[in-house]
Structure 1
Amino acid sequence: MKCVHISIRNAVVILLCFLTQHSHMLDNEMDVSSTKRDVKNIPAEKIIRSREDKIIPCSSSESTPCTNLNAVCLNCNFTNSCIYGEKVNVTCMVDSYIKCSGDRTFEKTVICQYCYQTERWEHNCELKADCHSILKSKNTYQTNCTVRDDIVCLGERTFNKNVQCNWTRGYRWTTTLALSIGLGGFGADRFYLGHWQEGIGKLFSFGGFGVWTLIDVILISLHYLGPADGSLYI
């Protein structure tokens, strides 16, 4: 038998490698167990995994009519003669693992359209607050929109869309108009909206001898003059 001599430095390196690998294995086991625990704690809901691997809850009550299930729980087939915007009868089927009452295959009258062609109130979009509502070159931005669960449509239910910038920092239109009428000659309305340079100009020119003040009152009353950061009034 031959003895292998290992220096203290090599022994420390081997020990550290062993401890690191062992800790990584424990973390993986904890992640798996926590994931299983989270899924088990979902109360009275049947879990469906879509193509994007998203968890979608569907009714698990046998007293719920199959025809009342949301569109995300149905498989509906559109015909080739489907014309955009017209009402069409489609055949919808409910998967066997979803509990409901009545016929599991039925016809449903829907609008022939792709999901990205739905009306604004038929889908929800992720809103952002880093756009500019006033600047015409930056008053729209692209975000993700998802069709409501009760809407039947063709294609992917989540899509990209250019939406109008619509965010606010708390500036009130009534407060701005009151400042413009009462203290507009001192630039109070411009200072309130964040237009500091114009506010200083109005202050030292006494509101442009009244002309600038009158113009700002008209612009604010028409919502043409807004906050300097591009947000909207509330």
Structure 2
Amino acid sequence: MAPLCQIWRPDRGRCFKTYGIIFVLFTDLVLQSVTVSPSDEESYTFGCPSGGLCQRLPANCMLCNFQHNCTYAKATSFTCKPRKGVHCIGESGQQQANFSLSISCRFCWQLDPSQYRCFNSTSCMTVSCPRRRYNATCDVLDHVHCLGRRSFQKRLYCNWTGGYKWSTSLALSITLGGFGADRFYLGQWREGLGKLFSFGGLGIWTLIDVLLIGVGYVGPADGSLYI
């Protein structure tokens, strides 16, 4: 009887092939998991000036020991230091590892609207009654310092515009309103066709539209504001 190791098995080559495919797939998976990505230091130092005054560094270029027990809206000094990889100097021209920063004591969501930027929604109706609000994500400007999270949520009124001019719509309503030009301009096609085939409602509809557009009651069909 032949030894067991010498017995020829038809599926032996197939097994080696299967193990080889599994090994190749495993190696490819390991190589894909090792990705080269920029370090955290490179991500913020890219926008940080080097050699400038420490007090003028952007907020994401420094680390500050902010305390929340200060008096609201009162100027308060906090101890800060530049982040790793960021170099700055003081008033004397010497490089500083720690410096004092004076800011107004208020949380980021309490800042003046000119000190942060919010996402402007173009899906809510500005001409609805009561006036609608939407949830906006706001980010503080880089040079503004405040307490708390620099990205926050706010409930803002719908105030976007689609580029329609009030003066143009009023001029069209006065001159060509009988042909529905004002309604066509505002994107209200059905009303425009109605005015066109009724000759402006025999002039009555035209006069009414002049008044409604004049006071701003009739606006763009997309719900945006006039510019």
- TM bucket (normalised to shorter chain) is 0.7 to 0.9
Q: Which residue of 63, 75, 85 corresponds with 2:64?
A: 75
Residues 21-100 of structure 1 mapped to structure 2, 5 A cutoff: 21-29=26-34, 31-32=35-36, 35-36=37-38, 47=42, 57-61=47-51, 64-72=52-60, 73-78=62-67, 80=69, 82-84=70-72, 86-95=73-82, 97=84, 98-100=86-88
In 1, the alpha carbon distance for the partners of 2:106 and 2:42 equals: 27
In 1, the alpha carbon distance for the partners of 2:154 and 2:12 equals: 63
Quote the offset at 1:5 in angstroms. 5.7
Cα 1:105–1:204 shift into 2, 3 Å: same
Residue 18 (structure 1) aligned with residue 23 (structure 2): yes
Normalising by structure 1, report the TM-score.
0.74
Residues 31-180 of structure 1 mapped to structure 2, 5 A cutoff: 31-32=35-36, 35-36=37-38, 47=42, 57-61=47-51, 64-72=52-60, 73-78=62-67, 80=69, 82-84=70-72, 86-95=73-82, 97=84, 98-102=86-90, 104-108=98-102, 110-136=103-129, 139-180=132-173
Partner SS for 2:47: strand
Cα 1:209–1:57 shift into 2, 3 Å: same
**Retained in 2: the 8 A contact 1:132–1:165?**
yes
Cα 1:8–1:196 shift into 2, 3 Å: farther
**Retained in 2: the 8 A contact 1:185–1:207?**
yes
In 2, the alpha carbon distance for the partners of 1:96 and 1:7 equals: 61
Q: Which whole-Å deviations, capped at 9, do the CAs of 1:161-192 have from their partners, x for residues lacking one?
A: 12233333333333322221111112221122
Partner SS for 1:145: strand
* Greater mean deviation of Cα atoms: 214-223 or 163-172: 163-172
Determine which structure has more spread, i.e. the larger CA radius of gyration.
2
Normalising by structure 2, report the TM-score.
0.76
Cα 1:199–1:18 shift into 2, 3 Å: same
Partner SS for 1:141: strand
Partner SS for 2:144: coil
Unaligned residue ranges in structure 2 (runs of 5+) = 91-95
Cα 1:156–1:204 shift into 2, 3 Å: same
Matched AA of 2:54? C
Partner SS for 1:58: coil
Identical-pair percentage: 40
Cα 1:162–1:10 shift into 2, 3 Å: farther
Q: Which whole-Å deviations, capped at 9, do the CAs of 1:173-226 have from their partners, x for residues lacking one?
A: 333222211111122211222223322332333223323212212222333311
Q: Which whole-Å deviations, capped at 9, do the CAs of 1:30-60 have from their partners, x for residues lacking one?
A: x32xx24xx69xxxxx7476xxxxx773222
**Retained in 2: the 8 A contact 1:132–1:139?**
yes
Quote the offset at 1:11 in angstroms. 6.2
Partner SS for 1:77: coil
**Retained in 2: the 8 A contact 1:79–1:90?**
no
Matched AA of 1:77? F
Cα 1:78–1:90 shift into 2, 3 Å: farther
* Greater mean deviation of Cα atoms: 111-120 or 222-231: 222-231
RMSD: 3.1
Q: Which residue of 163, 180, 203 corresponds with 1:210?
A: 203
